[in-house]
Structure 1
């Protein structure tokens, strides 16, 4: 079993960054035709990726808009519950 004790958050970030670089750029995978993940990513159809991107943001537009944040608080929720229980 491989274990690492990190002495600080910066030590953990540095070690994980090194591991991620090695994993994605220097270690070929048999499941990817003996390519590294980075090399394999270059072979994926780039047109599909472009379709998923939006011009302004990376996420799709929401189906519904959020309610006014000023009215969304615990007091208004309790008041609504109390009024509905009185009916």
Structure 2
């Protein structure tokens, strides 16, 4: 499984967040290299799970919206439909 690729700006932001977390929550300093290594590890090992969950959630939202649109169209059509003799 390949890891998720981030731009250099995204990598810098994520590495900074990892370093801040280690400092604040674990009272440990984490260097740039170690933070990037940790980011790569999580990206490779668990990134696909988060990505797939995002796809599933997006699919659920889209399906719900399409169902709503379909219901609204059905109601609207029945109101303007011409009677057939």
Which TM-score bucket, shorter chain as reference? under 0.3
Greater Rg by CA: 1
Structure of greater relative contact order (alpha carbons < 8 Å, 6+ residues apart): 2
TM-score (norm 1): 0.26
Larger fraction in helix: 2
